[in-house]
Amino acid sequence: MKLGPTNRRIAAGLSLVFFAALPARAEPAGAPRAAAVILTPPPGPQPRINGARVFGVRPGHPFLYTIAATGDRPMTFSAENLPAGLKLDANTGRITGAAPERGTFQVRLLASNALGAARRELRIEVGDRIALTPPMGWNSWNCFAGAVTAAKVKAAADAMVKSGLIQHGWQYLNVDDFWQVHRDDRDPTLQGPHRDAQGRILPNPRFPDMPGLADYIHRLGLKAGLYSSPGPWTCGGCVASWQHEVQDAQSYAEWGFDYLKYDWCSYDGVAPRGKKRSLDDLKKPYLVMRDALRRQPRDIVFSLCQYGMGQVWEWGDAVGGNCWRTTGDITDTWESLSEIGFGQAGREACAGPGRWNDPDMLIVGQVGWGPRLHPTRLTPDEQYTHISLWCLLCAPLLIGCDMTQLDDFTRSLLTNDEVLEVNQDPLGQQAGRVVQTGDVEVWAKRMEDGSRAVGLFNRGAQAARVAAPWSDLGLSGRQRVRDLWRQRDVGVFEGRFETVVPSHGVALLRIFKEEI
């Protein structure tokens, strides 16, 4: 590596800053928690358009895309070259309607306020594929689990707007298990008839108005998700979709839901067991629900949850999945996070626009699987690693915390647009591991513009020097290195970049060809 004096200074500065900002050792149990240092710069007052640059919709289906933009309000929006059938609300930035004609539409978005204007291209693909970038949103499980209510979901939706997260591309509000009636729980708010006389699923008393809930979420410019299982019961023991798949898909669509997580669990008792279970048995329930969903006049993102059985990443797309869990459930410890996150290596060829590997939901903020919550047990460094790695992996980003208790540090982790761009890049290439030396790993992915997003990780208990050689990144010559968490250029480097990364920490970079 050839470093000029300036670069040497900047590079040394980066190491020092990482040292100073982030602790060098894992804290022993009971020790004071390491200070949570916010690296994400606050958004500027001028307009900046964020969020997905490509959006897929099926012809004629209801369309909702909210332009995510930071900057002072009031802000007005306009769009050129929208497909026929779509219209933009200039004040809210919401594009709605239905586009009947198939095709690719290169739309030019404009956001203006008193201080200036921002422009950006949005590619709208009217065709068969949806979820062209990984879904970003919230799910009720990691905070409320069996204590979820419609009121809590509405409060989460309100918080998505009030916290400003909506301005960074966050959109789904997904109800997980426990919106249905429970098979035997004594809690009266979980009791009631399972289905109506026609066999249609009935929610439990905590969810008195399902269309009203979806409508509430849509009116905020957001989208709504639900959860079920192909077996008779969900994982938590509530009524699920076994032998009612088409009716259930119809209900979800009529109510106005946009996302379904479909969780194997009690299907274990339906499918053949042990050695008799074939790959077809694993695929079957997902094909049934895929067909039921496809018959609906509405786009519903289909999220497979069966913990990676039968290497689901190899066939999740073929059974209609937009994403598929590759692992068991995550919890808020370093062991869980690192085993799951770094265990994703080698699956990158299976992901792409509309088909994503899902290493489970985010475990930052106030989590607890209900009803009692606690701050995530991850250290700040581990949280930087979590978000950086999930962005590099093109993982669905589903926040698992109580949105009404979002602290400044957690918000900063979820609102760094340059970091989120790594996740939402239209090329949709999942990062792979390019270096593994002891506890040190480098993960990299190609971005649509030809630049690389690179994570320098240190899984060890001591700070370590981590190097990213250009030869491992498919690069050569002079490259501009940008620190994505700080949104700052570090300098121009040749041959390699290296820095000191704290224990369980990360340096997340974007590397651009330096024009001569």
**Which residues bind to ligand GLA, rule: CB under 6 A?**
141, 176-177, 234-236, 263, 305, 329
Measure the CA dihedral 12/14/17/22, to 10°. Answer: -120
* Least distance between ligand GLA and beta carbon 336 (Å): 13
Tally of CB atoms within 10 A around 188: 9
Catalytic residue, from 176, 177, 263, 360: name it. 263
Q: Which helix (H) or strand (E) holds 50?
A: strand 48-50
8 Å CB contact between 434 and 443 = yes
Token pair 């070259």 is at which residue? 81
Which of 398, 402, 413 has the alpha carbon at shortest distance from 136? 398
Q: Is 204 exposed, middle or buried (CB count within 10 Å of its CB: 0-12, 13-18, 19+)? A: buried
How much is the CA Rg of the chain, to the nearest whole Å?
23
State how beta strands 103-113 and 76-80 pair.
antiparallel
* Least distance between ligand GLA and beta carbon 263 (Å): 5
Nearer to ligand GLA, 360 or 441 (CB): 360
Please indicate whether residue 332 is annotated as part of the active site.
Answer: no
State how beta strands 397-399 and 63-66 pair.
unpaired
Tally of CB atoms within 10 A around 268: 12
Catalytic residue, from 291, 329, 439, 472: name it. 329
* Least distance between ligand GLA and beta carbon 142 (Å): 8
Helix 380-392 and helix 334-342: axis angle, to 10°? 20
* Least distance between ligand GLA and beta carbon 269 (Å): 15
Nearer to ligand GLA, 142 or 503 (CB): 142
Please indicate whether residue 263 is annotated as part of the active site.
Answer: yes
8 Å CB contact between 214 and 224 = yes
Nearer to ligand GLA, 236 or 285 (CB): 236
Nearer to ligand GLA, 48 or 386 (CB): 386
* Least distance between ligand GLA and beta carbon 305 (Å): 5
Question: How many CA atoms lie within 13 Å of 127's alpha carbon, on the beta-carbon side?
Answer: 14
Strand, coil or helix: 110: strand
Nearer to ligand GLA, 18 or 324 (CB): 324
Tally of CB atoms within 10 A around 338: 17
Nearer to ligand GLA, 308 or 491 (CB): 308
How far is 419 from 487, CA to CA, in rounded Å?
A: 9
* Least distance between ligand GLA and beta carbon 326 (Å): 11
Catalytic residue numbers read 263, 329
